[in-house]
């Protein structure tokens, strides 16, 4: 049995396939981001899945792609945990979520690939190697145009009374914005980035509002300027592809901003796990 996993900070999708590439089951757990969770928290989230507990002795290989796995220490921590848990597995590979995005969006072909989900990132794949010019420092400093960035913008605009009054009332009716509740979730509870991102859904429930259009474009322009334009030579030759739920719902605005910054939009993939499975099944077939 082979486990293929795509994890963000909010949720984690696991798909099991056999050596013939046939899907056995699919399960979702809470996100496993080793950069912000302790080993104990990571383990608790795996153990919460009865399906994963039931097959732990049957797993032969694990291919895990996730947020927070782009630097060595968190990656090694999660790899060690998975290796000890799925102790019959002969191979456990942990890679950053940008690799999952690349394989899902372009496979082994060259292109610029962006992630717009709970967090955000951008890389260039030459078809063999993935290149990043900036290491993401996460939601407190970077992550423009991500779910947590938009959530933060909405909460700030609400708090500073920068929202139009009708939007402000609608936002308050959808979320608990009481001060102590907000502070507890932002500073004491785990996954404050996912908490912020939960407020971004409001954008996609109100896409036709002029204020929302401005907020959406603001984030996409910042992301284009800071992340995509790093690859100023590559965007002359290759399309820019997007992966993630924010990208899926913001497709129209992404194409508008792309015209402003003179790059061409390619594939937009909502859930990378499906493309990942196809990628690994093709690899299995080439080995046979």
Domains in the chain with CATH codes:
2-102+272-287 (3.30.420.40), 107-269 (3.30.420.40)
Mean pLDDT of the chain: 91
| 55-102 residue pLDDT tens | 999 999 999 998 888 888 999 999 999 999 999 999 999 998 888 899
Rounded mean pLDDT of 213-230? 96
Task: Give me the pLDDT at residue 15, please.
Answer: 93
**Residue 107, pLDDT score:** 87
**For 14-42, what is each residue's pLDDT tens digit?**
999 988 888 899 999 999 999 888 999 99
CA distance 284 to 279: 9
Full-model pTM: 0.81
pLDDT score at 45: 94
Contacts of 148 (CB under 8 A, 6+ apart): 118, 119, 139, 193, 194, 196, 197, 200
Question: Which pLDDT band holds residue 138 (cuts at 50, 70, 90)?
Answer: confident
Residue 288's pLDDT band (cuts 50, 70, 90): low
The pLDDT score that the predictor gives to residue 287 is: 65
């Amino acid at each position: 049995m082979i486990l293929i996993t795509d994890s963000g900070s909010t949720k984690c999708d696991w798909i099991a396939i056999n050596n013939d590439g046939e899907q056995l089951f699919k399960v979702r757990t809470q996100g496993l981001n080793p950069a912000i969770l302790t080993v104990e928290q990571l383990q608790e989230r795996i153990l919460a899945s009865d399906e994963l507990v039931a097959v732990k002795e049957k797993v032969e290989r694990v291919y895990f792609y996730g947020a927070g796995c782009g630097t060595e220490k968190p990656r090694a921590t999660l790899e060690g945990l998975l290796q000890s848990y799925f102790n019959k597995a002969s191979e456990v590979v942990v890679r950053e979520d940008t690799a999952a995005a690349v394989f899902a969006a372009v496979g082994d072909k060259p292109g610029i690939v962006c992630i717009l989900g709970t967090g955000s990132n951008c890389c260039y794949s030459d078809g063999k190697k993935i290149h990043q010019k900036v290491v993401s420092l996460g939601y407190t400093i970077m992550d423009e145009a991500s779910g947590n960035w938009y959530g933060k913008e909405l909460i700030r605009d609400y708090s500073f009374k920068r929202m139009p009054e009708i939007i402000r009332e609608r936002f308050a009716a959808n979320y608990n914005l009481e001060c102590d509740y907000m502070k507890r979730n932002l500073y004491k509870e785990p996954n404050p980035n996912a908490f912020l991102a939960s407020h971004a859904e409001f954008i996609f429930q109100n896409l036709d509002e002029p204020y929302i259009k401005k907020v959406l474009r603001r984030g996409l322009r910042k992301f284009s300027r800071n992340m995509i334009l790093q690859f100023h030579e590559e965007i002359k030759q290759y399309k820019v592809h997007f992966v993630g739920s924010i990208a899926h719902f913001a497709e129209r605005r992404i194409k508008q901003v792309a015209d402003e910054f003179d790059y061409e939009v390619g594939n937009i993939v909502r859930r990378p796990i499906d493309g990942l499975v196809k990628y690994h099944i093709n690899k299995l077939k080439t080995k046979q």
